Amino acid sequence: MCGIVGYVGEEQATPILLEGLEKLEYRGYDSAGVAIYDGKKLEVAKAKGRLKILKDMLHGGSDLKGTIGIGHTRWATHGKPSDINSHPQTSVSGKFAVVHNGIIENYLSLKQYLMRRGVAFVSETDTEVVAQLLEYYYKGDILEAIIRVISKVEGSYALGIICEDSPNELYAVRKDSPLIVGLGQGENFIASDIPAILNKTRDICRLNDNEIVVLTRSGITVYNTDKEEISKEPEHINWDISAAEKGGYEHFMAKEIMEQPKAVRDTISPRIKDGRIVLDDITLTPEQIKEFRRIFIVACGSAYHVGVVAKYILEKMTHIPVEVDVASEFRYRDPIIDEKVLVLVISQSGETADTLAALREAKRRGARVLSIVNVVGSSIANESDDVIYTWAGPEIAVATTKAYSTQLAVAYLIAIYMAEALGTITPEEYQEYIQELETLPDKIEKILENKQDIQYFASRNFNAKDIFFIGRNLDYAMSMEGSLKLKEISYIHSDAYAAGELKHGTISLVEDGTLVVALATQQKLFDKMMSNVREVKARGALVLGLTVEENKQIEQEVDFVFYVPKTCDIMLPSLAVIPLQLFAYYVASMKGCDIDKPRNLAKSVTVE
């Protein structure tokens, strides 16, 4: 959500900022802007709409000269999208310019405080309050002014700051919103995500909460709020810039769907050694596992849907009761938690605001926290007792695909690992699960080889007005993800329902031509699912069936069928999700939607 880039060096800053912001377009935004020190004063240029508008306005950056600056892509929270509300925001005299990710929760009281003292505001944003406070508290020491400001503001923030009085220094600070520092030769950078600066440097430092960094051409200095210098260990980024580029695909989402066999293999293979699951990442012992009386799974969006699948699997395999919570609900519902509870936190970015807050609430109540995260060194990873990284590589498309699949793979590893420690599966079952895990990447590859079948069905139904996804047990959990994937990129209304609930109201919505996607991969529930298919067919529905290869009789019941290879029941979600992702992608593509940057959505939701 939103994007920040900052530069100080010897080159012209504006083209570098614009190029960096282009790499962050996937995060979701509705306006863009830059602030540059041109040798005399701060110059600001910003525009509502896509980054291209700003880029064209500045002729690729050549119109705005200067070797230090900050840039931003904004996703509106306070104030509608407009040129005025775009970032950077400046102080009343223009001395300070600020870019900001996050939300200042007490901005209104601070704004009123400043207005009573004669400060005039021009925007509706919470960010302008930060710029105005900086000037209000500034008495010649910028670092001191920043410390005073962050002592007053409440909420989350990643801030990039430049000041006319210090034309060779770029300042940044963060709290609960990601921000990295890029280390170059004769130049240094700030950014809200690695792809923005990866073509300039591979050496970064990650800021922790309330750490302030001062960047010059020659180096960086990090301070705490007592003005004490902090030593930071640089981190070298190994993945290639091509991993964050389309590589010949029309969309990042298409590329990332096709990367799933490799991503799942990279997640699983290093953790299976000599036929056994080895989780070197965690310190959780078998003795501690035996002490748990309940497991909570906390996540948002697609990660929450991984959690729903994991609930079925963990309860079946470990016999421990599992609750799944949307993170924004968990943190406010006064959950009953103590030291005998394991909280499993799932987040692609490791910075999801509600999930991070839920993690802190769980730890405050004494729970042990194990997180599944993709981004090394992220806030959730750092604050968990244990973390298992998915190693999915960068995921650029807003609609998650490979992050979902790798999170699911880690959920299997955890379930099997815990079940063996508890003695709730036999040695023979343990080996069977290991063998099935190792074959998952090849089976995903096989599904992708037949993607043209789903493409054909999508071409016949991309004009559907309403689509319902139905399933039972694990298939119901998969229905939720299939429905979300479709609605978020195609803008078609879709809903997921437990098939057994159809007669309790939902079936009243089914009429001639209604498209129903029926998942029937669970063998023990196949006959019951066929009864539900007949119910919707009798009311005029068009049905896409999704099942395993051995259930050929489904062809007598549905209008179109897509088969996935057979595996053990608990791992079928890893296969069933692939055609659901493909269906959503092809429908959105045929509708001409902006697939990688769907309207109103952001990749990482770092505000509440």
Give the residue extent of every domain in the chain. 3-238, 252-447, 451-591
pLDDT at site 240: 63
* Separation between Cα atoms, residue 69 and residue 160, nearest integer Å: 9
Q: What is the dihedral of CA 132, 138, 141, 145, to 10 degrees?
A: -50
- Pair type for strands 294-299 and 322-326: parallel
State pTM to two decimals.
0.76
CATH architecture of the domain 252-447 equals 3-Layer(aba) Sandwich (3.40)
Residues 6+ apart with CB under 8 A from 592: none
Q: At what angle do helices 427-449 and 451-461 cross, to 10 degrees?
A: 60
* Cβ contact 388:308 at 8 Å: no
Q: Is 603 a catalytic residue?
A: yes
* Separation between Cα atoms, residue 174 and residue 180, nearest integer Å: 9
CATH 3.60.20.10 fits 3-238, yes or no: yes
* Separation between Cα atoms, residue 81 and residue 91, nearest integer Å: 20
Q: Can you tell me which residue has the tokens 């306006």?
A: 31
Residues 6+ apart with CB under 8 A from 418: 289, 314, 317, 318, 320
pLDDT at site 604: 53
Domains 3-238 and 252-447 share a fold: no
* Separation between Cα atoms, residue 106 and residue 246, nearest integer Å: 41
> In this structure, what token pair is assigned to residue 107?
């901005």
Residue 10, classed as helix, strand or coil, is: coil
Q: What are phi and psi of 96, to 5 degrees?
A: -110, 140
Q: Choose among 457, 489, 481: nearest CA to 563.
A: 457
Of 111, 200, 311, 603, which one is the catalytic site residue? Answer: 603
* Cβ contact 322:314 at 8 Å: yes
* Separation between Cα atoms, residue 483 and residue 544, nearest integer Å: 13
Q: Is 246 a catalytic residue?
A: no
* Cβ contact 208:351 at 8 Å: no
> In this structure, what token pair is assigned to residue 77?
């929270």
pLDDT at site 26: 67
- Mean pLDDT per block of 10 residues along the chain (608 residues) reads 89 94 78 91 91 90 92 84 91 95 91 95 94 96 96 92 95 91 96 88 91 96 95 83 71 93 95 92 91 96 96 97 93 87 93 89 94 88 93 85 96 97 96 96 96 91 90 95 95 91 79 90 94 90 93 93 95 96 94 84 55
Enclosing H/E stretch for 32: strand 31-37
pLDDT at site 308: 96
Looking at CATH, the fold of the domain delimited by 451-591 is given as: Rossmann fold (3.40.50)
* Separation between Cα atoms, residue 474 and residue 307, nearest integer Å: 11
| Per-residue CA distances from 229 to 108, 212, 223, 456 (Å) | 33, 9, 4, 61
Residue 337, classed as helix, strand or coil, is: coil
pLDDT at site 606: 47
Q: What is the dihedral of CA 151, 27, 21, 213, to 10 degrees?
A: 30
Residues 6+ apart with CB under 8 A from 59: none
Side by side, the strands of the sheet bearing 3-8 are 42-48, 31-37, 68-74, 3-8, 188-191, 180-183, 203-206, 235-236
Query: Rounded to an integer, what is the distance from CA 545 to the centroid of its chain?
Result: 30
Of 2, 205, 300, 593, which one is the catalytic site residue? Answer: 2
> In this structure, what token pair is assigned to residue 318?
């470990």
